[in-house]
Amino acid sequence: MSEDKAGVVRFSVSLPPTLVKEFDGAWRSMGYENRSKAVHDAMRTFISEFRWTQGEMEHVAGAILVLYYLDKPNLLEKIMSAQHKFRSIISSTTHIHLEEDKCLEIIAVNGRVSEIKSLAQELMAKKGVKQVKIAVVAP
């Protein structure tokens, strides 16, 4: 490994040619200017995923997407109650009307993995919630 004046580390990686070809095709079609930036982003995603799966005390930021139907009594109140319970990790929420009886809630979160998982699990358990997805990054 070598470090240049800009504070970056250069290192070599051995990969199968088919993987390199597929990766090069992907980053080019995504509009990246060079392979280094694409590798940087891929590594950042890898680290975020590791933190999410391994470190309950790790700090992450991201969003929880909650798809739900309004056909269950008091569901909105139950979702709001869960959000208030976890207000220390919620930065903001956005409510989107998809159809007359179907909504999407986007909850911006910033906190420990364990807290974000707890909030997501509490939301998933609500009758009427159809799907919960979590996307996080490691700041």
How would CATH label the architecture of 59-137? 2-Layer Sandwich (3.30)
Q: Which CATH superfamily is domain 13-54 in?
A: Met repressor-like (1.10.1220.10)
Per-residue pLDDT, 57: 76
Residue 15 burial class via C-beta count within 10 angstroms: exposed 0-12, middle 13-18, buried 19 and up: exposed
Examine the pLDDT at 83 and tell me if it is beyond 90: yes
In this predicted structure, the answer to whether residue 22 has a pLDDT above a threshold of 80 is yes
Encoded tokens for 139: 């700041």
Range(s) for CATH 1.10.1220.10 in the chain? 13-54
Supply the pTM of this predicted model.
0.71
pLDDT, tens only, 4-16: 557 888 889 999 9
Q: Which two tokens stand for residue 137?
A: 């990054």
CATH 3.30.70.1150 residue window(s) in the chain = 59-137
Burial 116-129 (b: 16+ CB within 10 A, else e): bebbbebbeebeeb
Confidence of residue 2 (pLDDT cuts 50, 70, 90): low
Residue 26 has pLDDT above 60, yes or no: yes
